[in-house]
Structure 1
Amino acid sequence: MRFLRQSLTGLFLASLTLGLLVYAAALVRDAVQVRMADEPRVPQNRERVFAVNTLMAQAGSVAPVLTAFGQIQSRRTLELRAAASGRLIDFAPEFEEGHKVAKDQLLVRIDPSQAQAELDRANSDMLDAEAEIREAVGAVSLARDDLAAAEEQAALYQRQFQRQLDLRKRGVGTDAASDTAELSASTARGTILARRKALAEAEARVDQARTTLARAEIARSEAQRLLSDTEVRAAFAGTLSAVSVIEGRLVSANEQLAQLIDTDALEVAFRVSTQQYARLLTEDGALDPARVTATLDVFGTNLVATGTLSREGAAVGEGQTGRQLFARLDRARGFKPGDFVTVSIDEAPLHSVIRLPSSALSAADEVLVLGADDRLEVMQVQLLRRQGDDVLVRAPGLEGRAVVAERTPLLGAGIKVRALQPPGAAPVADNAPAQPEMLELSDERRARLVAFVQGNGRMPDEAKQRILAQLGEPQVPAQVVQRLEARIGG
């Protein structure tokens, strides 16, 4: 019985398996037949619509701002050098790095003993020359008196000789007396010649004495100049820099002691492209004295100074391009020579121009505008200026059209889009000031920023006080916090 029961069970399972296999084969056959009998169905394609940001193109007058980078420098910088060699014996209390000095203030004195001795010797030579002139003038006076006396004696001898001749003619005088009188007259004339020669020598002596006096005056002036060279004075009011000497040091002639910088006569030197330079010229080819703004970023607090374009570089320079320009700053409070600043130059206003984001313009100076049935159209524009992240363009028929603000490779002519901003929506004003993002700081975070600012010795006092005042407010600009934390590794 047990064998029979197990045999029947195995037969039942085998029959059931065979039946399932036959049923599965039938299902597969029916499915294949249905699939082969069905007609192919083509799916319906739907057009893809892209969502884009648009803005309304509005024409107006815009004053472009040319941006460049330059360096602050002083229009007057003087190298203080030793005009004489010697030992430094005296310094002014203000002769220190960064100290301000007044005009004509005595800064450094070199040992003047040798120069003073030369001046005393020159003064002594002057006294000798003046005495020689007085003696020579006296000798001329005496020589003239001697000449006058000799001429009187010669006149007497001549009259005596003439009288002897008259006596001889009347037969009263003798030949011996006449000859004696003639010889005396001749001797008197010789004496006159000797006195004239003596007078000429005395006058020549006066000229020589005057020449000696002139040389002595030159020597004294030279000695006085050498003595004045032992003093180094400030040629103008300014600030000392690069001070590198100490008292008692031996210096040589023309050795640099320090630099004097006029911090009240600052200017900014910067370089622009040739195309930008051409836009700054007037009709007669001169440089337009446009307004210039120099900005120095100091830990989130900007130092700003205004000025005007003053001159341009005479040459391009080897290995350089563009043009170098100089702008004179009116009042550069907080600026120092060597600061790297951002320079903004106000150009002449442009009329009938449209401001667009730079992402709306292609490399071929084309923009996409919203056309009929919300399809894009390509419009050619004229690029006039680039202003940061914006561009100034001009094109006929562009005003009042909805322009795609951000181009992508998927967008092109004929593409249907969906404008996220309605074409009639009013655009944001170009000159509307953006509100800075403000943060509320925790006590620990605020204390860490305040400690960093107070312990920074390279930050100017004015900027430090300004930042501390901002950190003391309940809300602090996020830009200031980010820059400070970036410098302290926060």
Structure 2
Amino acid sequence: MLGQTFLRGGLALGLVGLLLVGCGPRRAQSEAPQAAEGAVSRSIKVRVVTPETGTLTTTRTTGATLSPARESQVGATASGKVLEVLVREGSRVAAGQVVLRLDPVNAQSALRNAELALEQARVNLERAQRSTSGSLAPLQSSLESALANLQVAERRYREGKQLFAAGAIAQVELTGLEAAYNQAKAAADNARENLARAQRASSEDLALLRLQVQQAQNQLAQARRAVADTEVKAPFAGVVAETFVNPGEFVSAGQRAFRLADTSRLEASFRLPPEEAAALPLGSQVNLIFGGQTYPATLSKSSKVPGTDRLVELVAEVGGSLPPGASAQVRYTLRLAQGRLLPAGALRTEGRNTFVFVVQDGKAVRTPVRVLGDTGTRVAVEGLSGQPVVFPVPSSLSDGDTVEVVQ
């Protein structure tokens, strides 16, 4: 009985073994093609961007200081004691308005003396002109008389020669007529010389006197300017930002009296690296940010040469009513490069090589590029023709991988 039981168990185990041997290879053979088919159909899903040709720009901000576009340290144009200061600091003045007065006593005294000196020079000139006319009249009369006598003597001498040739007079008479003619000629020459000498002397004297009148006129003009300079005026309209003198103090010509600022136009001064300053030509538009508001500004000056801090100073004219001396922010836009524009995350680097993956015929193709400009978030590159570029780039993506573009 027990033997039959062992026999049945052995037969059952044998049948199970045969079934396992028969089924095992067939299952492996049926699963192998399925695994091969899965390997062939494997692809990586990616998103892409299309690079567009354009200009890469970036907007940056830096600190700036506001100052009047025109400012002047106005100095005293005369020396003297300050009588009064007519304008307080912070007050607005018009062009030509008197800001302070100096003691004019000395200048007014010099003006009166200059007026008297001019009057005296004119009197001297008029007297000399009358004297010259009186002294030249007799000499002119003497010359006219001598010329008349010469004319008569010459006529008689000429007639005498004709009579002598005809034998009507003797030689002695002709000699007398000739002597009379020579004497009249000498008298006329002498009278002419006397008149010319007197005219030259009178002309020189009058020229000297006229020069004295001109000098007196110049001195009078200087004296009038000196009186006017006792009033120190504003050279242009603006605000008296600061006064440097007080009533009762003595000031010298050229000593600064007050500081005048034209606050109708302000300038924003700021400093940039040389490469950024070179990218902002004069006339470029920038924005000034102050008090939460934005004001237009135009770049008007550039030092072009870096200072000791290796930065270039630029100045922009600002429109709008702003307080001078305040601090503000300047926002400016730089043109970095012209090329194919991409997100910066689309770039990959390997050593010194930079590349992107473009999608071509369902494959990821590694394509080298050269970076022309970089803002940190976007780049301009060259080396692309417009094929879609993978972005974002999966970490497992390799050159030649099969990809599926999804939205």
Instruction: Name the TM-score class by shorter chain.
Output: 0.5 to 0.7
Counterparts of 1:351 and 1:164 in 2: how far apart (Å)? 115
- Is residue 219 from structure 1 mapped to residue 219 from structure 2 by the alignment? yes
Maintained 8 Å contact 1:88/1:250: yes
Counterparts of 1:183 and 1:382 in 2: how far apart (Å)? 114
Letter in 1 for 2:145: Q
> How far has the Cα of 1:211 moved from its partner?
0.8
Partner of 1:68: 62
SS at match of 1:97: coil
Partner of 1:89: 83
Maintained 8 Å contact 2:276/2:334: no
Q: How many residues align?
A: 327
Partner of 1:79: 73
Partner of 1:274: 274
TM-superposition CA deviations, 1:354-397 (whole Å, max 9, x none) = 5679xxx9xx999999xxxxxxxxx99958444xxx63335778
Once the two structures are overlaid, the 10-residue window that deviates more, 130-139 or 100-109, is 130-139
Letter in 2 for 1:223: A
Partner of 1:307: 297
Maintained 8 Å contact 2:282/2:301: no
Partner of 1:242: 242
SS at match of 1:263: strand
Counterparts of 2:278 and 2:183 in 1: how far apart (Å)? 102
SS at match of 2:315: strand
Counterparts of 2:93 and 2:388 in 1: how far apart (Å)? 62
Counterparts of 2:251 and 2:302 in 1: how far apart (Å)? 39
Counterparts of 1:380 and 1:172 in 2: how far apart (Å)? 132
Letter in 2 for 1:334: L
Percent identity between the two aligned chains: 21
Counterparts of 1:250 and 1:234 in 2: how far apart (Å)? 20
Counterparts of 1:402 and 1:163 in 2: how far apart (Å)? 131
TM-superposition CA deviations, 1:440-490 (whole Å, max 9, x none) = xxxxxxxxxxxxxxxxxxxxxxxxxxxxxxxxxxxxxxxxxxxxxxxxxxx
> How far has the Cα of 1:271 moved from its partner?
1.3
SS at match of 1:253: coil
Maintained 8 Å contact 1:146/1:195: no
Matches within 5 A, 1:359-398: 382=371, 384-386=373-375, 391-394=377-380
1:310–1:323 distance in 2 versus 1, CA, 3 Å: same
- Is residue 316 from structure 1 mapped to residue 306 from structure 2 by the alignment? yes
Partner of 1:35: none
1:322–1:192 distance in 2 versus 1, CA, 3 Å: same
SS at match of 1:345: strand
Partner of 2:99: 107
Counterparts of 2:393 and 2:127 in 1: how far apart (Å)? 105
Choose between structure 1 and 2: higher strand proportion: 2
SS at match of 1:289: coil
Normalising by structure 1, what TM-score?
Answer: 0.55
SS at match of 1:262: strand
SS at match of 2:288: strand
Unmatched runs of 5 consecutive residues or more in structure 2: 1-46, 161-168, 358-367, 398-405
> How far has the Cα of 1:59 moved from its partner?
7.1
Letter in 2 for 1:311: K
Maintained 8 Å contact 2:92/2:239: yes
- Is residue 122 from structure 1 mapped to residue 114 from structure 2 by the alignment? yes
Normalising by structure 2, what TM-score?
Answer: 0.65
Partner of 2:256: 256
Letter in 2 for 1:333: S
Counterparts of 1:162 and 1:91 in 2: how far apart (Å)? 86
Alignment RMSD (CA, Å): 4.6
Counterparts of 1:383 and 1:192 in 2: how far apart (Å)? 98
With CA pairs under 8 Å and 6+ residues apart, which has the higher RCO, 1 or 2? Answer: 2
SS at match of 1:84: coil
SS at match of 2:300: strand
Maintained 8 Å contact 1:383/1:391: no
User: For the pair shown, which has the larger CA radius of gyration, 1 or 2?
Assistant: 2
Partner of 2:133: 141
- Of 316, 321, 324, the match for 1:333: 321
Counterparts of 1:346 and 1:184 in 2: how far apart (Å)? 102
Partner of 2:285: 291
SS at match of 2:258: strand
Maintained 8 Å contact 1:381/1:393: no
Maintained 8 Å contact 2:339/2:380: no
Unmatched runs of 5 consecutive residues or more in structure 1: 1-54, 281-286, 370-378, 405-412, 416-423, 426-490
- Is residue 344 from structure 1 mapped to residue 331 from structure 2 by the alignment? yes
1:368–1:146 distance in 2 versus 1, CA, 3 Å: same
Counterparts of 1:365 and 1:340 in 2: how far apart (Å)? 44
1:323–1:177 distance in 2 versus 1, CA, 3 Å: closer
1:181–1:274 distance in 2 versus 1, CA, 3 Å: closer
Counterparts of 1:240 and 1:259 in 2: how far apart (Å)? 6
> How far has the Cα of 1:323 moved from its partner?
2.1
Counterparts of 1:73 and 1:214 in 2: how far apart (Å)? 48
